[in-house]
């Protein structure tokens, strides 16, 4: 029997590990589960930043420079919106808009988000269709000294430069997990769960809070591997360090480990100065994913540590 | 007191005369009323073909070659929709999509179509904002031997190459006219109404059927000038001739005059072989609008005949 693995992914870091895993595993060996806590509506379009970043990465279309959106992109619609005086604080490329229009049409036809993304993935030739953690709208709210902010207000408008008191996840205990995630959790051959080096508070946290996923994972009793978002002592991307400070967690890997707690069995980091908590095996090595080879190598190391059969 | 004129406009021919009139009259002297019978939804976007053609023409952006859409346009979203396998039978350029996204957002915010178009016109620097005949959805239905067709099914998918039994207008007696049209009809200084050389059955007919506009125009008792859609005995654009044949009307100008009936006071045509019905003054001259000078000249001739004060 083939083994199966679940990977929980956010945006840029998640998309890179997702690509590495997809290079090592067949579609029926891997379920890529993606955060939807950042999703929102803009100009009537359903925006799914993390799903699309993973999708574009898997399709080989992602912009290497930006990390999101398509490398091959034009901005004529965006410039026209600016010229019209329309809301244009959120950048959408012309080709990216096409994906959004198609997703809207698929959703309007009655498909749920999982089904819409599967159809779009097929259209892009992507074999490992990413699954949203849930098809329900579960927006993340950032609680700050100045009041509650939506994720995009926090991340784009405020550039994450505010003191965060807490993060309120949209996913509830009763939120229904996506069919793809449920099916993966039910597989008898499930051999491990991988948490990508995405923001633990803004990308992974929302998923673990949804539909009791954290408890569901613990109950499956398969090894859980976490990849640290820190490289050379600094977060590769995004406001991880600031959030740990604001939320009263220790800096660096120690804060990440504290956040994930007893969920972690294996911890992948490039730091050899980590005091491993009881029950956690720390695996030291290069975790920076500069290119496709890095991504595939990290995936191989994680799968080997999880006991994957070659 | 300044005089005021109303012009009823469809797509390409309507946009050209609208531009000519806008070059001769100030915004407070002219109300451009545009057909909305072709409007429909595509990929969640509200498509208003005639309003947008008039708007792009007035903004100096219209494609000279196509007659619709923008001259300066790219098609990256359209090509991406095709690559994704999304519905792409209706062509939308990248910059045009921006206008549609903005209109959707304005409509979603609670503005009606008139208000949305006014905002967009301002964004494009257009002083003579076109007014939809109504803010209500009043889609035209083409009744054919093969059943009822929506306007776009008839026009784009079937390329107007079907036998038409009749045209059913969406506008009803009780349909509310747009505020701009109502205000223009109420102006004491209203000095004339101009019917552009648009398709009498598909562009002007839907407007006249809406909110008893035909009767409202007759009741105002101001001269009505019709510009023939025929040039050199052939319709400049679109299925006018085929429709007249299918609907049992005589060909050419005679069929147009029969269709408009006693609404017409002045009839502008390039044919000197017209038997003028009683009460109709036929004005013979060049009606083809090749360029801006042609458009302005035709507007001048119409306004002069309507007794406009220079």
CB B74 within 8 A of CB B80: no
Residues of A with CB under 8 A from a CB of B: 43-45, 73-74, 76-81, 83-87, 94-95, 97-99, 101-102, 104-105, 108, 120, 122-124
- SS3 assignment, position A84: helix
* B274: confidence class by pLDDT, cuts 50, 70, 90: confident
- pLDDT above 90 (res B122): yes
Q: For position B205, what pLDDT does the model report? A: 97
> What parts of chain A have a pLDDT lower than 70?
1, 310
Backbone φ, ψ for residue B299 (5° rounding): -60, -45
Say which residues have a Cβ less than 8 Å from residue B224's Cβ, sequence separation at least 6.
B192, B193, B194, B195, B217, B263, B264, B265, B266
- Residues from chain B contacting residue A109 (CB–CB below 8 Å): none
- SS3 assignment, position A275: coil
CB B33 within 8 A of CB B4: no
Convert the pLDDT of each residue in B222-267 to its tens digit: 999 999 999 998 888 788 999 999 999 999 999 999 999 999 999 9
Q: For position A309, what pLDDT does the model report? A: 77
Chain A: closest CA distance from residue B8 (Å): 26
Q: Interface pTM (ipTM) of the complex? A: 0.89
Q: For position A292, what pLDDT does the model report? A: 94
Contact A76 B98 (CB under 8 A): yes
Q: For position B273, what pLDDT does the model report? A: 87
The first and second tokens of residue A207, run together, are: 């998923």
Contact A76 B99 (CB under 8 A): no
**Which has the higher per-residue pLDDT, A275 or B282?**
B282
Alpha carbon of residue B298 to chain centroid:
17
Contact A95 B108 (CB under 8 A): no
* B310: confidence class by pLDDT, cuts 50, 70, 90: low
Residues of B with CB under 8 A from a CB of A: 43-45, 73-74, 76-81, 83-87, 94-95, 97-99, 101-102, 104-105, 108, 120, 122-124
Contact A102 B123 (CB under 8 A): no
Chain B: closest CA distance from residue A94 (Å): 5
Chain A: closest CA distance from residue B3 (Å): 31
* B194: confidence class by pLDDT, cuts 50, 70, 90: very high
Chain B: closest CA distance from residue A151 (Å): 20
Q: For position A1, what pLDDT does the model report? A: 66
CA distances from A150 to A5, A140, A145, A155 (A): 32, 7, 14, 9
Q: Which of B52, B69, B76, B110 to mutate to test the interface with A (most CBs of A within 10 A)?
A: B76
A11, with CB counted inside 10 A (0-12, 13-18, 19+), is buried
Q: For position B1, what pLDDT does the model report? A: 66
By CA distance, what is A70's nearest residue in B?
A: B80
Q: Which of B70, B97, B110, B124 to mutate to test the interface with A (most CBs of A within 10 A)?
A: B97
CB B259 within 8 A of CB B249: yes
**Computed from CA positions of residues B187, B189, B195, B201, in that sequence, does the dihedral angle turn out positive or negative?**
positive
Contact A98 B104 (CB under 8 A): no
Indicate the class that CATH gives domain A4-305: alpha beta
Considering CB atoms only, which of B81, B98, B102 is closest to A98? B81
Q: For position B272, what pLDDT does the model report? A: 87
Q: For position A17, what pLDDT does the model report? A: 97
Task: Output the average pLDDT for chain B.
Answer: 95
Convert the pLDDT of each residue in B56-94 to its tens digit: 999 999 988 787 889 999 999 999 999 999 988 889 999
Q: Rounded to whole angstroms, how far apart are CA atoms A278 and A272?
A: 16
- Residues from chain A contacting residue B55 (CB–CB below 8 Å): none
């Amino acid at each position: 029997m083939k083994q199966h693995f679940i990977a929980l992914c956010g945006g840029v870091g998640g998309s890179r590990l997702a690509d590495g895993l997809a290079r090592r595993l067949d579609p029926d060996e891997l379920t890529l589960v993606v955060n939807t806590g950042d999703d929102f509506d803009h100009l009537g379009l359903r925006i799914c930043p993390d799903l699309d970043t993973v999708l574009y990465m898997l399709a080989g279309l992602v912009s290497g420079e930006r990390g999101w959106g398509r490398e091959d992109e034009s901005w004529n619609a965006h410039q026209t919106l600016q010229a019209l005086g329309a809301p244009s604080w959120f950048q959408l490329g012309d080709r990216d808009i096409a994906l959004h229009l198609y997703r809207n049409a698929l959703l309007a036809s009655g498909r749920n988000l999982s089904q819409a993304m599967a159809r779009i993935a097929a259209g892009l030739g992507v074999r490992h269709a990413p699954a949203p953690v849930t098809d329900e709208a579960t927006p993340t709210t950032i609680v700050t000294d100045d009041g509650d902010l939506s994720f995009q207000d926090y991340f784009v408008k405020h550039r994450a430069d505010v003191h965060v008191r807490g993060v309120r996840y949209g996913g509830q205990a009763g939120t229904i997990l996506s069919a793809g995630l449920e099916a993966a959790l039910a597989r008898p051959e499930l051999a491990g769960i991988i948490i990508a080096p995405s923001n633990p508070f803004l990308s992974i946290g929302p998923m673990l809070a949804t539909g009791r996923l954290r408890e569901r994972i613990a109950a499956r009793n398969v090894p859980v591997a976490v990849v640290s978002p820190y490289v050379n002592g600094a977060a590769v991307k995004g406001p991880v360090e600031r959030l740990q400070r604001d939320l009263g967690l220790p800096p660096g890997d120690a804060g990440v480990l504290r956040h994930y707690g007893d969920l972690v069995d294996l911890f992948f980091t490039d730091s050899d100065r980590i005091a491993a908590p009881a029950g956690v095996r720390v695996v030291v090595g290069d975790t920076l994913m500069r290119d496709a080879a890095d991504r595939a190598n990290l995936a191989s190391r994680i799968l080997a540590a999880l006991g994957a059969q070659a």
